[in-house]
Structure formats: C-alpha cells, structure tokens
Amino acid sequence: MVTPCPTSLVSPAARAGKRDHDQNLRAPVKKSRRPRLRRKQPLQPLNPCPLPGDSGVCDLFESPSSGSDGADSPAASAALGCSPLPAPAQQFAQLDLQTFRDYGQSCYVFRKARESHFHPRESLARQPQVTAESRCKLLSWLIPVHRQFHLSFESLCLTVNTLDRFLTTTPVAADCFQLLGVTSLLIACKQVEVHPPRMKQLLALCCGAFSQQQLCNLECIVLHKLHFSLGAPTISFFLEHFTHARVEAGQAEVSEALEAQALARGVAELSLADYAFTSYTPSLLAICCLALADRMLQHPHPVDLGLGGHAEAAVQDCLGKLQLLVAINETSLTHMLPFQILEKCSLSPKLK
C-alpha cells in the first residue's frame, strides 16, 4: 500500500514569488531589426472640425480665390514652420549637376512626351455635385495637411493629379469628396514618401467622418479607374529640371536659382487650388512660376522662357493669370515662404 505524499502548504506570497521567478526564465523576445518609427507627439487636427457644408468639405481653410488675407488660416499656421534656406555649400550639394548631365535631358524628354497623357482636361465637366469652389476648398485644406505631415512638394502635385484624373472618369458625391482628397494624398505618399502617413492619422484629420474600410475601398476604386498608371510628370519635376538647366548653362548662381525655385513652389501651390489653371500643362506652369519668381526677386538674369518649348502667347497668358493670383493671395503667400525669400521679393511684380 502506497502512502500518498502529504500536500505541502505554500503561502500566497511564496506562490507569487515563484510565478515571478518562472516569468523571468522565459526566453527573451527578439526585437525587430527595423523598429517602427513613432512620432513623439500625435498629430492633432488643424482646427476643431465643424460640420461639413454642402461640398462635404470641412471649411478649415480660406479659398485662395476668395480674396481673404488668410492670416488666421491653418495654412498660415502650418507654414510658419518653413525651414530656412540651407548654407551655400549645402545649396550646391542639393543640385546634383553630374547626375543631371548624365540623365537629366533623357528624363525630361521622356516625361515631356508623357505629359499630355497624364494631363486631365475639364475634370469637372462630368461632376454634377462637385464645383470649382468645392475643389478649391478641398485643395486649400490639403495644402496645410501636407505641410503638417512634412511631405514633399512632389506628393502634393501627385495628389492633385490623381484627384483630377479620377474626377474625369467618375462622378463623385459631395459627401465623399473629402474622402477622395485624402485617398489621393495617401496614394501619392505611397509612391514617393519613405514614411507615408497612416490611415488613422489621415482619417483623424477628417474628424472621424469616414472609416478605414471606406478609405481602402475608395483607394481600390481609384487605382482601378486609373489603371494603376500613377507616374505623372508634375510641376515639381519640371521646376527641378529647369533649375538644374539654368545653373548648368551658367545663367544663374546656385543661390539665386534655389531662391527662385522656393518662391516658384509657393506660387505653384496657389495655382494647384485654382481650377482655372488646370488647363495649363505642368511644364508650362513650372516655367511661368520660375519666370514670375525671378521678377519678384528682381534677379538680373531671369529664366529663359523658351526652355519649355511653349508658344509665347500661351506663356504670356499663363504669366498674366499667375500675377493676378499672387496679387489676390499676397498675404497667404507670405506665410508660405521662408523668411529669407520674403526679405528679397517684391509681391507686386510688373510683367514686361
């Protein structure tokens, strides 16, 4: 007959200590080689979100065509963090002239040939609910959003191109228009940004009006309608090409060329929100923005208007409209530029 072993009495404190000891004996968890980057502070909405208006867009930003000074707009507050221009040595490093000599002209010819294929014409012709005013409000909201995420100008240009090209193919309801803008921004960021914003961050800026599933569904629809053809030539590309070309040809110093490029980007951002400028190709807008920037900065050697290969009448027509756009949005433009540019430029240029 086997006598059972007596059950030893263990106090609760000893039992808890044994459990902690067993947990310490577990194998360590292997950390990922590429840890997920997290922001120190979460992104907050630009302003308390009001209820969407008839356009389906939260009115967080004054339209560039509204005539408002824009001093209290989110674009003004978002643009206050504009980074200053780099030092001369860093400026020269930004212009990789050797790469431009090797591949610049071939890339330009390739993209220039595909420009008409990706250029949307009359994107609102088939839109019964989306108007030029609602498009202006949406893009005027997306501009400070892209600045808050510290995204590149190329991302913004691709966002507008994706938005307009989709509008030419599919009618969009007014209450889904803001979701289309956020979806276009997400698609553009996935192409060019190393760390694109997360869906939750973009949806938070929409005040929770849309779900993540709605964003994913619309992303699939946009990609299907555009046949996954997303590599559009943009104003950003042509601005960089013309800047490299004038420096390589000895027509401008590196510092002057980069100053004109920075100012031209600000003018181009204003034109992206105005539906009247959708009739101009990106290369035409780029050369005209550079020419206007040279005149505002009073550079002695302005950019050659023949670089883009456009007719003189089209160039002068675009220049005249850009000058009017800058005059209307003078105060808003001052909040979008580095301080060094503001000290040198005249916001009332005279076209010769």
Burial of 264 (0-12, 13-18, 19+ CB in 10 A): buried
Structural domain spans, the chain: 92-120+233-352, 122-225
Tokens of 131: 């108007």
Query: In the numeric block, which tokens belong to residue 136?
Result: 């202006």
pLDDT value of residue 73 = 40
CA dihedral sign, ordered 312, 314, 320, 326: negative
Question: Which amino acid is residue 122, in one-letter code?
Answer: E
Looking at residue 185, what is its pLDDT?
97
Per-residue pLDDT tens listing for the chain (352 residues): 444 444 445 555 555 555 555 555 555 555 555 555 444 444 444 444 443 443 334 444 333 344 444 443 434 434 444 555 554 444 545 667 788 888 888 899 999 999 999 999 889 998 999 999 999 999 999 999 999 999 999 999 999 999 999 999 999 999 999 999 999 999 999 999 999 999 999 999 888 889 999 999 999 999 999 999 898 999 999 999 999 988 888 887 888 889 999 999 999 999 999 999 999 999 999 999 999 999 998 888 888 888 888 899 999 999 999 999 999 988 888 777 777 777 777 765 554 4
> What was the pLDDT predicted at 53?
41
Find all residues with CB under 8 Å of 189, minimum gap 6, and list them. 149, 151, 155, 196, 197
**Residue 191 phi/psi, 5° resolution?**
-80, -40
The pLDDT score that the predictor gives to residue 19 is 56
Which among 265, 283, 275 has a CA at the least distance from the CA of 321? 275
- CA 319/CA 288 separation, integer angstroms: 6
- Per-residue burial over 204-243, b if 16 or more Cβ lie within 10 Å, else e, is bbbbebbeeeebeebbeebbeebeeebebbbbbbbbbbbb
CATH of 122-225, one of 1.10.472.10, 3.40.50.1820, 3.40.30.10, 3.30.365.10: 1.10.472.10
CA triple 135-137-142, angle to 5 deg: 95
**92-120+233-352 and 122-225: same fold?**
yes
Domain spanning 92-120+233-352: CATH superfamily: Cyclin-like (1.10.472.10)
- Residue owning tokens 């949307």: 120
Residue written as token pair 């993540």: 212
Q: Which helix (H) or strand (E) holds 221?
A: helix 212-225
The pLDDT of residue 157: 96
- pTM of the full structure: 0.74
Query: How far is residue 327's CA from residue 278's CA, in Å, rounded to a whole number?
Result: 19
User: pLDDT value at position 123?
Assistant: 92
